[in-house]
């Protein structure tokens, strides 16, 4: 990955304008991608960019798709969605199957609709596989079961434990690994089948060619310890906002083995709700697992060819410098 730091807020506006001009010249759809690890400030930056560009946001977050999981997935607030129209959030039931191919199809449809109405699409989120599948034009067909992979993973689980299988998924698809509990071996193996196909697509040049987008990647760069501090502070706020009650309600209504409820926060708090750990230990695990997830996200984002970064310490300055486009 080649990373370029944007040192001046005026340079950001110029970069965006050049991106739009280049897209028109190339006959492609302009797409601004705001990516980054959890708690880095993507939501606020995405909204500011969308208001500056007269755009709409397509979420690339594999957890914000689920209904009734607003606090734990840090969804945009009603006040934020009133400022900018958001797509692909809060529209899937927690027990409803959802996969990469469906995301790619629905994100493409949302972007086509945004473009047809003369708006600019912004893809905002931290699920690297979702972003790659869309911007690198993965060719995703229905993924059939892989008997050889299943046999290998079941043998690995027997010999080394289910966490060894889960670690393989973490390397290929950290977002799926964060959603699925290591003990849910059937879901972990199925996610590995999907991730393997996506990895094979990424290795084929033809899978990346012919995409309809002129893509600009933006991220927010925080020193690692500051990012970890932000993660812990956000989790503390989520608890104050009622995350424990949200988790109790969901776990009383749905199977805790569902991929949605294996997400960060719900899985760890579930151990406290079921009397398997103290709240203090559950929160410590929640924070540690989220820090680990952020590290895996950062590793994934190194796959992208050219990313422009905004210094985290100056994020609010950059946001304040973006005027709202008059329409």
Tokens of 186: 């059937």
CA distance linking residue 285 with residue 288, whole number of Å: 5
Give the N- to C-terminal CA distance of the chain in Å, as an integer: 36
Give the pLDDT confidence score for residue 201 in this predicted structure: 61
Helices 9-26 and 42-53, axial angle in degrees (round to 10): 60
3-class DSSP assignment, residue 116 = helix
3-class DSSP assignment, residue 226 = helix
pLDDT(259) > 50 = yes
Give the pLDDT confidence score for residue 115 in this predicted structure: 96
Mean pLDDT of the chain: 91
Residue 29: phi, psi to the nearest 5?
-80, 125
Q: What is the DSSP letter of 262?
A: G
Give the pLDDT confidence score for residue 207 in this predicted structure: 45
Same fold, 2-137+210-320 and 147-197: no
Q: What is the DSSP letter of 8?
A: -
Q: What is the DSSP letter of 325?
A: P
CA distance linking residue 27 with residue 158, whole number of Å: 53
Q: Residues in the chain, how many?
A: 327
pLDDT(61) > 60 = yes
Give the pLDDT confidence score for residue 187 in this predicted structure: 81
Give the pLDDT confidence score for residue 1 in this predicted structure: 67
Give the pLDDT confidence score for residue 9 in this predicted structure: 85
pLDDT(46) > 50 = yes
Across the chain, the runs of DSSP E, i.e. the strands, are: 2-5, 29-35, 55-59, 86-87, 120-125, 213-221, 306-311
CA distance linking residue 1 with residue 168, whole number of Å: 23
> Which residue in the block uniquely carries the two structure tokens 């690339």?
60
Which tens digit of pLDDT belongs to each residue from 82-122? 999 999 999 999 999 998 999 999 999 999 999 999 999 99
* Top mean-pLDDT range of 164-168, 182-186, 219-223, 298-302: 219-223
Domain positions in the chain:
2-137+210-320, 147-197
What class does CATH assign to 147-197?
Answer: mainly alpha
CATH number at 2-137+210-320: 3.40.50.300
């Amino acid at each position: 990955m080649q990373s370029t730091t944007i040192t001046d807020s005026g340079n950001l506006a110029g970069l965006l304008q050049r991106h739009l001009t280049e897209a028109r010249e190339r006959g492609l759809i302009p797409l601004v991608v705001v990516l980054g690890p959890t708690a880095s400030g993507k939501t606020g930056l995405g909204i500011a960019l969308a208001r500056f560009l007269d755009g709409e946001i397509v979420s690339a977050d594999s957890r914000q798709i689920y209904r009734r999981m607003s606090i734990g997935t840090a969804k945009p607030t009603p006040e934020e969605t009133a400022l900018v129209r958001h797509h692909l959030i809060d529209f899937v039931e927690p027990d409803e199957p959802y996969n990469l191919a469906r995301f790619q199809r629905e994100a493409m449809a949302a972007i086509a609709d945004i473009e047809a109405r003369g708006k600019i699409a912004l893809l905002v989120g931290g699920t690297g596989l979702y972003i790659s599948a869309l911007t690198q034009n993965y060719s995703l067909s229905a993924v059939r079961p892989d008997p050889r992979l299943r046999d290998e993973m079941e043998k690995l689980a027997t010999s080394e434990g289910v966490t060894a299988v889960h670690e393989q998924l973490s390397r290929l698809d950290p977002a799926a690994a964060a959603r699925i509990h290591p003990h849910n071996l059937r879901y972990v193996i199925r996610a590995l089948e999907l991730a393997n196909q996506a990895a094979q697509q990424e290795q084929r040049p033809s899978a990346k060619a012919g995409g309809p987008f002129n893509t600009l990647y933006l991220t927010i760069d925080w020193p690692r310890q500051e990012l970890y501090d932000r993660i812990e502070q956000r989790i503390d706020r989520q608890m104050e906002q009622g995350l424990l009650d949200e988790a109790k309600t969901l776990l009383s209504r749905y199977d805790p083995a569902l991929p949605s409820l294996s997400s960060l926060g719900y899985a760890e708090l579930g151990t406290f709700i079921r009397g398997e750990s103290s709240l203090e230990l559950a929160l410590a695990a929640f924070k540690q697992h989220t820090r680990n997830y952020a590290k895996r996200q950062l590793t994934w984002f190194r796959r992208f060819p050219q990313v422009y970064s905004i210094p985290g310490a100056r994020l609010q300055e950059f946001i304040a410098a973006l005027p709202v486009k008059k329409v």
